[in-house]
Structure 1
């Protein structure tokens, strides 16, 4: 029951983040729709939006998921990832530093070990946005931070434990991307 209550809190936070992102659209000077090509390479469809909110600031919000996998590994996950970015020039061009966070819920099976749980992370990012044309950009991003996970971990042939039996904190990559963007306005 405690796990369900935590899930409700996380969904509430997600709704708050989405509403906050859309309220920024009304003030945005530039809006871009984007997708991370590296996530597509891992068979994780994704979409994001970035809103310029001030002369050197933007907000990026992305969501991705993976339900089933044609490989021998089974991975189902959903991830939401907001990011606040400071641009050294104008937003959506050249160098930026960012603060990012993400929440992911997953169900994975690797080498006869099943993991079912969730993870949350926060960290810093660095990226460079290459302007390809008036409306198209290509971005490279990398980020590192701390990740907290809690999961049921068990062998495939064993029954699922009654309670979460694995949890911890790790230093981990929190963002890696090669992203193509289309600037709407």
Structure 2
């Protein structure tokens, strides 16, 4: 199911990018790569001041024998650019959806305070979020930008816990929480096609 969703989003994004009259871009968030999360995105200009894009992020790693930071999510976003598409300041509205399985370790600085029992349990579940973002695109060359961005939103998280060393207890039900969360922290490299700034 997860692969079908990702493939559908990518196929839709690249089909939209096929319109030769539109300026489009591919991008990757360097901060996510630093956190061992491969990611790629595509964005297409809708007008002189607006763009529509989507990113796919996937972290499949298990560190050591039992420390998991696995997650995936898709993040579509509409952006309004104040100076013109792909130029300077933008304001965005986005959605996010994905799944996660994390646990078997303590969070640096936060320890056991954010997710109680994280060193001894896996938290498995899914989330859906909506939020707003603000960012700035720095011109590097006619085809290359560097974007700085940050976003906040509200997330609905559905999850259950399983012991690190053992099976899921019988009768375990999902818990649901609504939390304000950061929905974007980005230092993103953007390659522009059909560049017409």
Match of 2:187 in 1: 178
Aligned partners of 2:90, 2:131: CA distance in 1, in Å?
14
Aligned partners of 2:38, 2:88: CA distance in 1, in Å?
26
Match of 1:24 in 2: 16
Aligned partners of 2:61, 2:174: CA distance in 1, in Å?
24
Provide, for residues 113-139 of structure 1, a one-character-per-residue CA deviation record: whole Å limited to 9, x for no partner.
Answer: 211111111000001000111111000
Following superposition, the deviation at residue 167 of structure 1 comes to: 1.4
Aligned partners of 1:18, 1:100: CA distance in 2, in Å?
17
Stretches of structure 2 that go unaligned for 5 or more consecutive residues are 106-118
Counterpart among 90, 96, 100 of residue 96 in structure 1: 90
Q: Does 1:58 align with 2:51?
A: yes
Matches for 1:117-136 after TM superposition, within 5 Å: 117-136=125-144
Q: Is the 8 A contact 1:63 1:78 kept in 2?
A: yes
Q: Does 1:156 align with 2:148?
A: no
Q: Is the 8 A contact 1:43 1:69 kept in 2?
A: no
Aligned partners of 2:32, 2:158: CA distance in 1, in Å?
23
- After TM superposition, the score normalised by the length of structure 1 is 0.85
Greater helix content: 1
Following superposition, the deviation at residue 153 of structure 1 comes to: 1.5
Stretches of structure 1 that go unaligned for 5 or more consecutive residues are 1-7
Cα 1:69–1:40 change in 2 (3 A) is farther
Rg larger in structure: 2
Q: Does 1:166 align with 2:182?
A: no
Provide, for residues 126-184 of structure 1, a one-character-per-residue CA deviation record: whole Å limited to 9, x for no partner.
Answer: 01000111111000110000001111123324531444332111011111110001112
Cα 1:104–1:53 change in 2 (3 A) is same
Count of residues in Structure 1 that have an aligned counterpart in Structure 2: 177
